[in-house]
Amino acid sequence: MGEVFKLYLHEIQPSQLYISKTKLDSVINRRNLGDLSMYDPIPIKEIDGELVSTDGHTRGVAWLLEGYEEVEVEWETVEMDWEEYGVYVQWCKDEGIYSIEDLKERIISHEEYKVRWYDRCKAFQKEWAKRKQ
């Protein structure tokens, strides 16, 4: 990845609509057991002038719930379809999600997460691939 620096959680635009309670509990439990992998920086990418998290949404919410306002981030170096990512960001904005802080109200069961997030993404990615052909 790239250079590590700090950002306030409210400055990070999510690209994910929901947080799995199971995944969140796992991150928090690892931290409580002394596993500091929770502290890996959140990868971000500048998209349309905004700093967007490309991963690490669950870690971000865990930090928030533990009282952190600022977290380490690093520039995303993996090349992805950023136009596609822009769609995920727009989904978030359409549902009033403008920062990691907004995700704390979107913690759902893992089963519901799979249906509401994974399945939606899979269906969209299938359609996106057709459009790209």
The three-state secondary structure class of 19 is strand
The H helix count followed by the E strand count for the chain is: 6, 6
Q: Which fold has domain 4-132?
A: 3.90.1530
Note the pTM of the prediction, 2 decimals: 0.90
Distance, CA of 69 to CA of 9 (rounded, Å): 6
Q: Which long-range contacts (CB under 8 A, 24 or more apart) does 64-70 make?
A: 64/9, 64/100, 64/101, 64/104, 65/24, 65/28, 65/104, 66/28, 66/31, 68/9, 69/8, 69/9, 69/10, 70/6, 70/7, 70/8, 70/9
| Domain ranges within the chain, ordered by starting residue | 4-132
Q: Given CA atoms 19, 22, 28, 31 in this order, what sign does their dihedral have?
A: negative
Q: Could you give the C-alpha distances from 14 to 5, 117, 120, in angstroms and in order?
A: 18, 13, 16
pLDDT tens, the chain, 133 aa long: 568 999 999 999 999 999 999 999 998 888 766 655 557 899 999 999 999 999 999 999 999 998 999 999 999 999 999 999 999 999 999 999 999 999 999 999 999 999 999 999 999 999 998 888 7
CA distances 31 to 36, 96, 100, 127, Å, are 6, 29, 19, 38
CA distance 79 to 118: 21
